[in-house]
Amino acid sequence: MEGALLSVENVSVYYHTPQGETEAVRDLSFQVQKGEFVAVVGPSGCGKTTMLSLIMGLNPPSKGQVSFPQGPCPMGYMLQRDNLLEWRTLEKNAILGLEVQHKLTEESRAKTVGLLKKYGLGDFLSHYPSQLSGGMRQKAALIRTLALDPEMLLLDEPFSALDYQTRLTLANEVFSIIRQEGKTALLVTHDIGEAVSMADRVLVFSDRPATLKREVVLDYPRGMTPLERRGTPAFQDHFAAIWKELER
C-alpha cells in the first residue's frame, strides 16, 4: 500500500427536520489506504450509506472533513441494483457511463469490451439484460463502473439482491476483478460473512449516530480467495468477534 487515498477526520452529520435535529454520524475518523479493500458493517440504518454520500461529495459534513491526501480521486459507485437499461445490449450498457461523460472513443470502447471478455461476458455482448442471470448483470454493472477507470470503488451492498449461492460466487469474482485491476475498494454491507471474507480490514459502526466501535484487521495468507477464506479458523474467529461487537 502506498499511503492514504481517503481520510475521514472527526466527521459529524446532523439532519434538520420539523421534529428537530437528528444526529446521523458522530466524530467518525478512519482512512483507506491505496490498494486496500475495506469493509464497513453496522446495524441497519446506522449511517453507512450517509458515509458514502459524504465521500462522494453529495452531502457536506456538519463537522470535520473528508479529504483525499493524494489529490483528486476518481470514484466509481456500485449500487445494490445493477440499473442496466433493458433496451440496451450488454455492450451498450457497459459503455453507457463513457457516453454520458463524453469519454467514448474507439480506444475506450475497445478497453471496455476487453474487460467484458476478460471476465467471462464476451459471449454475451449482444444479449439484453433480461437474457442474463443476476450475477452476470451485476458483474456487467461493475465493468460499466471500471470502464471509467476509477481509482476507488464504493460498493453499497452490491450483492444484497441476489440469492445466497450467487452472492458467494459473485463476491469471489468481484474480489478477483478488483485485485487484478489494482483498485481500492470500500464495501458497505450488512453481511458480516461477506465483509470478513472479502476485506483486508473491517470497520464496525455503532447504531445511529454512527461511530467507529472497532477496527478488525484480517490476517489471511496473501492470494487467498473469499471462498477459501470462509473455510479457515481465522474466518470463524473474526466473524464471532464482529458479531459480539454488534450485539453489544
How do residues 71-103 score in pLDDT, each as one tens digit?
A: 999 999 887 788 999 999 999 999 999 999 999
Distances in Å between the Cα of 202 and the Cα atoms of 35, 44, 108, 121, 157 are 15, 16, 34, 31, 14
User: What value does the mean pLDDT take over residues 217-235?
Assistant: 93
Q: Which residue in the block uniquely carries the three cell numbers 470462509?
A: 230
E-strand stretches of 110-207: 152-156, 184-188, 201-205
Report the pLDDT value the prediction gives residue 107, as an integer from 0 to 100.
95
Using DSSP, state whether 128 is helix, strand or coil: coil
Q: How does residue 15 score in pLDDT terms, banded at 50, 70 and 90?
A: confident
pLDDT reading at 222 higher than 50? yes
Instruction: Give the model confidence (pLDDT) of 142-179 as tens digits.
Output: 999 999 999 999 999 888 878 888 889 989 999 999 99
pLDDT at residue number 43: 85
Is the pLDDT confidence value at 51 over 80? yes
Q: What is the mean pLDDT of the chain?
A: 91
- Strands laid side by side in the 63-67 sheet: 20-33, 4-17, 63-67
CB-based contacts of 15, cutoff 8 Å, min separation 6: 21, 22, 24
Nearest to 227 by CA among 179, 165, 178: 165
Share of the chain above pLDDT 70, in %: 99
Residue 1 pLDDT: 46
Please state, in angstroms and as integers, the Cα–Cα distance from residue 105 to each residue in 44, 76, 92, 145, following that order.
Answer: 42, 19, 13, 16
The pLDDT of 182-208, averaged and rounded, is: 94
| pLDDT of amino acid 2 | 58
